[in-house]
Amino acid sequence: MSNSFEIIERVGVSNISSSDAIKKVVKEAHEESRVGWFEVQEERGRVTGEGEIEFQVTVKMGRKLD
């Protein structure tokens, strides 16, 4: 068994909250291959043309290599 990790970085998006964006992106990555840890790198947002707020988060995640 390896003691190495693979690092991936993804951007999550939600119209609900930054917390929801984090949960969505980590859960999606975990469904593909088990995530061991995650770290929020950046939070930002925008206002859409329809006036809705969109939350965006950049998340770094680590996966243990087999």
Q: What global pTM score does this model have?
A: 0.87
Numbers of helices and strands, H then E, in the chain: 1, 3
Could you read off the pLDDT tens digit of each residue along the chain, which spans 66 residues? 678 989 999 999 999 999 999 999 999 999 999 999 999 999 999 999 999 999 999 999 999 887
Host domain of residue 26: 5-64
Number of domains in the chain: 1
